[in-house]
Amino acid sequence: MSLWEKIMIKTCPECNATWINGQLYWQNGKEGCPHDLAGLLCNDIQDPECINPCKGSTSGATWEQRRQFLGEL
């Protein structure tokens, strides 16, 4: 089996979020948390084509939490 046969890449048709072998990666290449993506985007757009397995999760970051954090700086 070649290296390419072992790599599975999925891209969301709505937001272009990318999962490589089940791990979400942000556009900057850093590993991401799909719960954060859900809280920041997926839960708000309600697109049936969203592939985030954590869509609907409320355990990740939200824009409100980020606004509060920035307000405390």
Instruction: Report in angstroms the alpha-carbon separations of 27 from 8, 24, 49, 72.
Output: 17, 10, 20, 27
d(CA 60, CA 62): 7
Q: What is d(CA 69, CA 73) in angstroms, rounded to the nearest whole number?
A: 7
Q: How confident is the model over 11-48, as pLDDT tens digits? A: 999 899 999 999 999 989 999 999 999 999 999 998 89
- pTM for this one? 0.82
Place of tokens 């697109």: 47
CA angle 23/59/13 to nearest 5° reads 45
